[in-house]
A and B are shown apart, each in its own frame.
Chain A
């Protein structure tokens, strides 16, 4: 069945470091792919998305490219800030309206 696998955390980085959080998926078709972020005490927020192969989603300095050949959607940011500390979830849709399959989440801590 469809699934999402993302790297386990926690990930601890110093401010201005480069960030990569790996995400791979399995799917029978060509799902849309998402990254959500959950800041402490808040709900999940959509960070970025890509709907087809080779699309690049970007927001707030974060980027992820939909790679069909490697079934991946890795999240990257060139220079993280303390305010980026949060839990990041990779997800795919199942084709049914709104149904999402999530990865387990990766906690990121950025130290000053």
Chain B
């Protein structure tokens, strides 16, 4: 089946620094990728939809200047958490949409901001 990877799988950073998370579709091209955030014992919440070659579409309440998304190629989307603060600590999950409307999910990235 289609495989999506994320890197890093976990990261710890200091408050005020920026962190970049990569999402790659390893064996297929994805014009659309999604970024989700998951708090402990909570649902996955869609943050934004990333389309290759165009600006991401953010969900209501998600700060686009804080969560920068770049979908530079058909196999790579990146999420940069800028000036991270402890409240940004969370589990970030990406998915890639395979033509035919099936989403394939990455394993997630655990971000801890000290």
Q: Give A residues with C-beta under 8 Å from B.
A: 4, 36, 41-46, 89, 97-105
Q: Give B residues with C-beta under 8 Å from A.
A: 1, 4, 6, 32, 34, 41-44, 46, 49, 93, 95, 97, 101-108
Give the secondary structure class of B's interface. Answer: strand
**Which residues of chain A are near B43, meaning CB under 8 Å?**
4, 89, 101-105
**Given A89-B44, A104-B42, A104-B43, A97 contacting B105 (CB threshold 8 A):** no
Contact between A45 and B105 (Cβ–Cβ < 8 Å)? yes
What 8 pairs across the A-B complex have the smallest Cβ distances? A44-B105, A43-B105, A102-B44, A102-B43, A43-B107, A98-B97, A43-B106, A104-B43
**Which residues of chain A are near B102, meaning CB under 8 Å?**
46
**Chain A CB within 10 Å, residue with most, of B44, B46, B108:** B44
Q: State the CA gap A42–B106 with chains docked (Å).
A: 7
**Which residues of chain B are near A42, meaning CB under 8 Å?**
107
A32 smallest CB distance to B (angstroms): 9
Q: State the CA gap A36–B106 with chains docked (Å).
A: 13
Instruction: Taking A43-B106, A97-B101, A98-B97 as given, write out 6 further A-B residue pairs in contact, using a Cβ cutoff of 8 Å, ordered by the A residue number.
Output: A43-B105, A45-B105, A46-B103, A97-B49, A100-B46, A102-B44
